Amino acid sequence: MKVYCAGPLFTPYEREYMSECGQALREGGIDPFVPHESFTLDLPPDTPRLLMERGLMSEKDLTQQPLADLVRDLLRKNVITREDLGLPSGPSAKRVFDKDFGAIAESNAMLAVINGTEVDDGTACEIGIFYALMQTDPTKKGIVAVHDDWRTLDSPGEGKGLNAFVLGCLLKGGIVHRELKDAVKQINTWRAELQSEGLLQMEKTTL
């Protein structure tokens, strides 16, 4: 079963949390798509030399972390550009869209982290797309949201609440949970449904 993990990915700790969500699913034998982890790079062979010449990396760094992770980090910090590395620049919105939409279209469920002062716009957009695709695709079971943000919780909480349209979409297309473990449980329920409906492709049973 494939699950698309949607959520804000803009800070190191947000990415860490999304990776944690992905890991929780993987441990249950589910195949998660975590957008920032899927950010693959087709690096030219002389990349390590180029980075070392610029003093951005040492031999030792390479033994501690995969090269792609190091490069991703440098790109995010804007220390180097894609052009510096000889990577195709292209319109990056198109790159992000193609990759993420492709994964949404293939997924059987979505796990959406909706924390924040409002739902992250990228996440909200992905929720909408998944909901629309669900209407005609019986292999898409639903959206489970993880929501534990004081600013948008009704009780206890002090904020203005969640956007009613987004919340309505989540409730029509799935469910909202406070805890990640409950979200994982829900996904497992959907997985059992898919299996009994014969809608799940043969999948790896071991990690």
Partner 1 sequence: MKIYFAGPLFTPYVRQFISEHAQILRENNIEPFVPHESFKPVIAPEIIKSLVEQGALKQEELVGQSASDLAIELLRKGRLTREQLGLPPRSAEFIFEKDYEGLVGANAVVALLDGTQVDDGTACEIGIFYGLLREDPSKKGIAGFMTDSRGLRKADQGYGINLFVLGVIEECGRIFGGFQEVLGQLKTWETELEAGL
Choose the binding region for partner 1 from 62-70, 122-130, 179-187, 188-196 (rule: CB under 8 A).
122-130
Of residues 61-100, which lie at the interface with partner 1 (CB under 8 A)? 91-94, 96-98, 100
* Position 171 contacts partner 1 (CB under 8 A): yes
Of residues 17-56, which lie at the interface with partner 1 (CB under 8 A)? none
* Position 199 contacts partner 1 (CB under 8 A): no
In the complex with partner 1, the residue whose CB is nearer, 61 or 137, is 137
* Position 126 contacts partner 1 (CB under 8 A): yes
Q: Which residues on neighbouring strands pair with residue 144, listed in sequence order? A: 111, 175
CB of 154 to partner 1, least distance (A): 11
CB of 80 to partner 1, least distance (A): 19
In the complex with partner 1, the residue whose CB is nearer, 97 or 150, is 97
Binding residues (CB under 8 A) for partner 1: these are: 91-94, 96-98, 100-101, 118-133, 135-136, 162-169, 171-172
